Amino acid sequence: MAFVQRPLAPEVRFTMLSGESLAISDLRGKVVLVNFWATYCVPCMKEMPHLVRTYRKFSPRGYEMIAVAVSRDQPERVAAVAAKLPFKVAFDKDGAVAQGFGNVRVTPSTFIVDREGRIVKRYIGEPQWSELHAILEKL
């Protein structure tokens, strides 16, 4: 059986709503979940409580999460939702982050990145939560 090399996460720079800028490489050494979402996306808003619970469960163990609001969203609406979230929220103003992650066009889309910066799993649509948690437990 051949060894499959996992692709490295793209070297993108997230611009947080706070104004903070963070490169994906700044997060090496942590397991990172990158979630592309929109305030107008019903499945995205439905999965937010699951993402919050996941973050609270795993964040004490070197887990980081960045919710990336897509460029078509309205910054004010994103800020209103982000104010209630415990994890980092970025706004992909020019679409560069979505482009870097393989031209993400569907929300929600979620990527799990391991401690070495490699993409372990991609979900299009809402993840199967028990599977996602099992992957995070392993990492």
Among the residues of 40-102, which ranges form H helices? 42-58, 75-82, 96-100
The CATH architecture annotation of domain 13-138 reads: 3-Layer(aba) Sandwich (3.40)
* pTM (2 d.p.): 0.94
Residues 4-49: tens digit of each pLDDT: 678 899 999 999 988 899 999 999 999 999 999 999 999 999 999 9
Supply the DSSP string of 8-49, one letter for each residue.
Answer: BPP--EEEBTTS-EEEGGGGTTSEEEEEEE-TT-HHHHHHHH
pLDDT at 3 over 60: no
Token code pair at residue 76? 């004010």
**What is the C-alpha separation between 85 and 52, in angstroms, rounded?**
7
For 134, phi then psi, to 5°, come to: -65, -40
| Burial class of residue 68 (count of CB atoms within 10 Å of its CB; 0-12, 13-18, 19+) | buried
- Beta bridge pairs of residue 3: none
What proportions of the chain, in percent to the nearest 5, are helix, strand and coil?
35, 25, 40
Indicate the domain borders of the chain. Answer: 13-138
Predicted confidence at residue 72, as pLDDT, reads: 95
